[in-house]
Amino acid sequence: MDKQLLSKLRISEELKSVLESAQNIIVPESRQQLLDLTFMGSDVHEVAYEVPGKGRVVEATVTRCKNGASVNYIEPYMRRRDPEAMVIADELPTDKTKYQDRFGSGFTQTRKEALQWLAQQKDLVVMPFLSGDDAEGYPSLLICPANAGFFVTGLADLQGFIPKAELKDGFEPIGMLFIVPPFRHTHFKGRQVVVHNRTPKVHEEFCFNLYPGPSAKKGVYSILLHQGEKEGWVTLHSSAVRLITPYDNEFVILHEGASGGGKSEMTQAIHRMPDGRIMLAENTLTKDRIFLEMHDTCELHPVADDMAIAHPSPTGDGKLAITDAENGWFLRVDHLDEYGREPSLEKLCINPPEPLIFLNIDGKPNATALIWEHTMDEPGKPCPNPRVVMPRRHVENIVSGKVEVDVRSFGVRTPPTTKEKPNYGILGMLHILPPALGWLWRLVAPRGHANPSIVSSKGLTSEGVGSYWPFATGKMVTQANLLLELIMKTPNTRYVLIPNQYVGAYHVGFKPEWIAREYIARRGSVKFRDGQLLASRCPLLGYTLPGFRVNGQDIPHTLLQVHDQVEVGLEGYDAGAKILYDFFKDELKKYDTPELHPLGRKIIDTVLNEGNVDAFNAVMPG
């Protein structure tokens, strides 16, 4: 054990004993050293462990490709995040499943055995890093067996790391990740399990699997959410982009929503036909298509891809201020099924400035890993969750530091809707929301239609408060109050609602957010004069526009007011509105507790009483 390192860490005597017992401690000094750990000197490295009763179990293979490491898990189950992975071992307030309730015993003995297993490893990586952004991040520590070097490198790319030579005296982690892969088999019947143990000083996470989703990615998110609960701020589940209009004006949109809600798409260039036109919409019944010509679009400067820290103090002009909570982005590339779908990302992955970490990509030794060649879960069935870890420093026009937000949008995956088959796909291409409705949509946070990350959900279900609830360890009402207080403190940031996939009978994909992005940025705000907005027929959708023009072209009003589509009509629209109301009323029952902010109570009562848009404005003027 490196005694000089140990003297710099402020950790418990128990953990010091674990580190002193390990045969060899590796504290990464450079990214090249991390890559060396990833490949372990081999073109194909097997990440394997001895498991009592099973012998040598291979968890994953790591293939050395020209452009990085192609990591493939042996079991298809391990290629995506198990939504039931999180369990809570402590006695702090929580609405999540507790370890005792799920496994029938306390965590103390398993925790002891996990630390003993780590202490017995020949080579152990100890990597200091900051959870959150570089300027205001929280000291954290990873402890991981060295043969899982790809996991260490992936976390380092996602969150950054502190090289050994730069570690300062008195480094006191508030978050710790312990990686103990074989316990998945010996203790948890092969399932992914991440045990959260929130102590007064440290948020411990014991990660009993090697897929980074519930630990290196969302596990760090959990640390930030817990810290925010204690200090009074939130980490928003969002992307953000600074737009530079053709007239050289700047405008920032922050886009929130469940997985599949369009967060990554908000930072992407609009998709076009081979001839350069934009196919805005296609009628699912008549197959009629609506096209736009738009050659001079906004310049995109990405700010965040999935997690944005929103500290409590607003800017001087009352706008929300955010910083990216990550140093790298965990990009899903399931939509890239052939060459040429997204040229800028393809180019960056084929010829990156430095080797990347690919997951669930069918890479071959010493060949180039191609992000449209996905690993097969079974013959003819590609894995739905291929990923690449992209350090944000490689992203073109990236924006660093604190950024003011002009508009917060919320994305909803909507299904096709007609009078014969009514559904909740009644959202027009763009809705303007009063602040009260902006908060309500973040409470109910629908997963929506055909969610690519959720296999088992049917119909309209909720991702949970903020759409980040799957990663939070505390109570829903606490997060609901924090979100409401954030809105109250930032009155000059406005709110819009944007669907994707379908608008009534029309298939639109992600075109609504790309077109709305252009319209809002060129307009410079979503503040309108009296008479410019129409109250939506369904009050939950706030206001709509009678029409709008972008780049000199009119958007058909039937894509803004769905009840005017002949395929939908008032009958189909009202049936869809009832689905939305039933969903809202059912989800909002969860917040019927004395802890809810009094203003939040008034807003929810407005929904239960089916108040109109003016009622939402009255309870919380915006």
Instruction: Kindly report the CATH number assigned to the domain that includes residue 200.
Output: 3.40.449.10
Report pLDDT for 185: 97
Report pLDDT for 454: 44
- Does residue 350 form part of some domain? no
194-198 and 407-413 strand pairing: unpaired
User: Which is more confidently placed, 501 or 340?
Assistant: 501
- Does residue 373 form part of some domain? no
Report pLDDT for 438: 98
| Same domain? 504 vs 595 | yes
| Same domain? 198 vs 256 | no
Which of 192, 208, 231 lies at the terminal end of a domain, its last residue?
231
| Same domain? 299 vs 418 | yes
Looking only at Cα atoms, what is the longest distance across the chain?
75
**How big is the CA angle at 227 (ends 223 and 231), to the nearest 5 degrees?**
170
* Residue 455 pLDDT > 60: no
| Same domain? 139 vs 285 | no
- Does residue 349 form part of some domain? no
In angstroms, how far is CA 16 from the centroid of its own chain?
34
Average pLDDT over all residues of the chain: 94
- Does residue 145 form part of some domain? yes
| The model's pTM | 0.95
State the residue range of the domain holding 212: 3-47+82-231
Residue 236 contacts residue 486 (beta carbons within 8 Å): no
Kindly report which listed range (99-108, 113-122, 543-552, 602-611) carries the lowest average pLDDT score. 543-552
What is the SS3 assignment for 36? Answer: helix
Report pLDDT for 6: 78
| Same domain? 418 vs 535 | yes
| Same domain? 538 vs 613 | yes
C-alpha–C-alpha distance, residues 119 and 33, integer Å: 22
* Residue 457 pLDDT > 70: no
pLDDT confidence bin for 340, thresholds 50/70/90: confident
pLDDT confidence bin for 120, thresholds 50/70/90: very high
Q: What is the pLDDT of residues 535-564, one digit of tens each?
A: 999 999 999 999 889 988 999 999 999 999
| Same domain? 560 vs 412 | yes
Report pLDDT for 342: 86
Q: If you average pLDDT over residues 256-260, what whole number do you get? A: 89
| Same domain? 218 vs 263 | no
User: Which is more confidently placed, 454 or 417?
Assistant: 417
C-alpha dist (Å) from residue 338 to 31, 202, 346, 586, 599: 31, 45, 10, 42, 50
* Residue 156 pLDDT > 80: yes
* Residue 311 pLDDT > 80: no
Report pLDDT for 4: 74
Which of 210, 231, 252 lies at the terminal end of a domain, its last residue?
231
C-alpha–C-alpha distance, residues 532 and 47, integer Å: 61
| Same domain? 253 vs 133 | no
Q: If you average pLDDT over residues 412-426, what whole number do you get? A: 96
- Does residue 526 form part of some domain? yes
- Does residue 354 form part of some domain? no
Report pLDDT for 3: 67
Sheet holding 356-359, edge to edge: 44-51, 55-65, 68-73, 356-359, 387-391, 328-332
Domain tally for the chain?
2
* Residue 456 pLDDT > 50: no
| Same domain? 218 vs 255 | no
pLDDT confidence bin for 451, thresholds 50/70/90: low
We report the CATH number of the domain holding residue 430 as: 3.90.228.20
| Same domain? 144 vs 89 | yes
| Same domain? 219 vs 242 | no
- Does residue 460 form part of some domain? yes
What is the SS3 assignment for 16? Answer: helix
Q: If you average pLDDT over residues 454-477, what whole number do you get? A: 84
Q: If you average pLDDT over residues 147-155, what whole number do you get? A: 98
C-alpha–C-alpha distance, residues 521 and 253, integer Å: 8
Which of 231, 265, 295 lies at the terminal end of a domain, its last residue?
231
- Does residue 73 form part of some domain? no
Residue 521 phi/psi, 5° resolution? -65, -45
Q: If you average pLDDT over residues 490-508, what whole number do you get? A: 97
